[in-house]
Every structure is written in C-alpha cells, then in structure tokens.
C-alpha cells in the first residue's frame, strides 16, 4: 500500500513540464499556472485552450512528442498521454533525475499524486483518496464548496492583517496561540457570514485586548 505525506509545495517560478496536450493536460496546466509555475508543454497537438495560452505567452510549447532529455532542469513533471511507452520513459527519466513526477492514472508511476483542491482566497483544502477513488475526492470538494461560504476567505484576510500587531502587543507565543483559538471559536464567522464586518472587528478587538483597525 502506498502511503503519502501531505505537503503544499511552492511552485512560483519553478520550471514544470507537462507531457501531453489533451483535456487532462489542460487541467494540469491550469493548476500549475494558478500557482505561477513556469510551464512547458510537450505534445504534437494542443486543445484550443492550450493553444490560446501559447498565444498569450503564458506557457512554452514544444510541438512534438517527448524525447529523452526533455525533463532536464524541471522541478516537477506531469505526464498525461495515452501512450504507455512514452509514460514509461517519462517515469524512468524523472525517477533517474530524482524529480517529482506524476503519470496520470498510473499510480505505480507516481512519486506524488495531485489531490482535489478547493480554494477560497487563502484557504486551501486538499482532498486525497491516495489514488484509490479520485471521484470521491471531487464529490467531497463539491460538498465543502457548498458548505464553506465567503466568510472564511474574509476571516483569513482579517487574520493576515492581525498577525503583526498581535505579535507586537503580545510577544508571548503561547498567549497568542490561545487568543487565536479563542477568536476562531467565537461567533466571528457567523458575523462575517451576515456581512457585518464592523461587529467582526469589534469581536477581534475584544478577544485580543486592543483596538483592531485593519489598514
């Protein structure tokens, strides 16, 4: 049984290679662009949307099939083709290079798997079934998408503006940690869900013990 260590990876400006130009590759490219990775796509053909991304200079495109050596310098590799031989060679090269590699729908040829991801501002929730049933992960993501409203995103915006003044006023880490839990356990999310931001700021001020006025 494969056991995976959940981790979030910083891919901003990191070179990433996607082998394949179909709909599945398109989705992988979009995910990489969303975190500002530098993406190269290698494929004889592209979907119309990937063609548009090439025209917008958002991705680098090599119009051909994969060749050995194409993965040199890549931080992360995703292979999304229907060709077993290409998939095998990509896996071999990436493994030899000690690169992060995912051959789509071929778990034995993956040293990482991509979870189903829910983003709401700075809130990121990754759901994985360890490659057993990705459809279940998608359904769980859809359920959370319905249940988690915009108040979570706004709370995190306020929390980001609170961290520095809170550290200034309360240097002791354990005290700050206790206040964060008190704040999260308050009714601030319900207040933000009603759109009452002034009351939310009042709750923060009461919890932390000083007037909170986000810039």
Considering the entire predicted model, what is its pTM?
0.79
Cβ contact 24:104 at 8 Å: yes
Q: Is residue 214 part of a domain?
A: no
Crossing angle between the packed helical segments 150-169 and 173-184, to the nearest 10 degrees: 150
Q: Is residue 200 part of a domain?
A: yes
Average pLDDT, integer, range 49-54? 98
Determine whether 33 is exposed, middle or buried from the number of CB atoms within 10 Å of its CB (0-12, 13-18, 19+). middle
DSSP conformation class of 23: H
Cβ contact 114:31 at 8 Å: yes
Number of domains in the chain: 3
83 and 137 both lie in a single domain: no
pLDDT at residue 1, as a whole number: 60
pLDDT at residue 7, as a whole number: 87
Backbone phi, then psi, for 100, in 5-degree steps?
A: -70, 125
Cα angle 145-147-149, degrees, rounded to a multiple of 5: 80
What is the rounded distance in angstroms from the CA atom of residue 131 to the CA atom of residue 144?
A: 20
Q: Is residue 4 part of a domain?
A: no
Q: What would the pLDDT profile of 102-132 be if each residue is shown by its tens digit?
A: 999 888 899 998 888 898 889 999 998 888 8
120 and 100 both lie in a single domain: no
94 and 121 both lie in a single domain: no
Q: What would the pLDDT profile of 165-204 be if each residue is shown by its tens digit?
A: 999 999 999 999 999 999 999 999 999 999 999 999 999 9
Domain's final residue, options 147, 162, 194: 147
DSSP conformation class of 128: -
79 and 129 both lie in a single domain: no
CATH of the domain at 80: 3.40.50.720
Q: Is residue 39 part of a domain?
A: yes
Q: Is residue 30 part of a domain?
A: yes
24 and 103 both lie in a single domain: yes
31 and 101 both lie in a single domain: yes
Domain's final residue, options 94, 128, 147: 147
101 and 120 both lie in a single domain: no
95 and 51 both lie in a single domain: yes
Q: Is residue 3 part of a domain?
A: no
100 and 132 both lie in a single domain: no
CA distances from 95 to 60, 77, 109 (A): 23, 10, 9
120 and 197 both lie in a single domain: no
Average pLDDT, integer, range 90-110? 95
Reported as type and span, the H/E element at residue 60 is strand 60-62
Domain's final residue, options 126, 147, 168: 147
10, pLDDT greater than 90:
yes
What is the rounded distance in angstroms from the CA atom of residue 51 to the CA atom of residue 59?
A: 9
Q: Is residue 50 part of a domain?
A: yes
109 and 141 both lie in a single domain: no
Q: Is residue 25 part of a domain?
A: yes
89 and 54 both lie in a single domain: yes
The domain containing residue 172 runs over which residues?
Answer: 150-208
Instruction: Kindly indicate the confidence band of residue 206, based on its pLDDT and cuts at 50, 70 and 90.
Output: very high
Beta bridge partners of 191: none
pLDDT at residue 4, as a whole number: 82
Cβ contact 90:102 at 8 Å: no
């Amino acid at each position: 049984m494969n056991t995976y260590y959940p981790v979030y990876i910083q891919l901003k400006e990191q070179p990433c290679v996607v082998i394949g130009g179909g709909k599945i590759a398109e989705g992988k490219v979009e995910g990489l662009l969303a975190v500002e990775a530098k993406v190269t796509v290698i494929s004889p053909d592209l979907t119309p949307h990937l063609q548009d991304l090439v025209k917008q200079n958002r991705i680098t495109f090599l119009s051909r099939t994969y060749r050995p050596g194409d993965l040199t310098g890549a931080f992360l590799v995703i292979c999304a083709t229907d060709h077993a031989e290409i998939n095998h060679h990509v896996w071999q090269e990436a493994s030899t290079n000690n690169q992060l590699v995912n051959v789509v729908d071929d778990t034995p040829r993956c040293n990482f798997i991509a979870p189903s991801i829910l983003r709401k501002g700075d809130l990121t929730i990754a759901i994985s079934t360890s490659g057993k049933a990705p459809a279940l992960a998608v359904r769980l993501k859809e359920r959370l998408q319905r249940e988690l409203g915009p108040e979570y995103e706004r709370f995190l915006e306020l929390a980001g503006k609170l961290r520095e003044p809170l550290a200034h006023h309360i240097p002791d880490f354990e005290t700050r940690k206790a206040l964060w839990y008190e704040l999260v356990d308050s009714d601030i999310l319900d207040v933000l869900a009603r759109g009452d931001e002034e009351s939310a700021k009042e709750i923060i001020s009461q919890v932390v013990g000083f007037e909170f006025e986000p810039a």
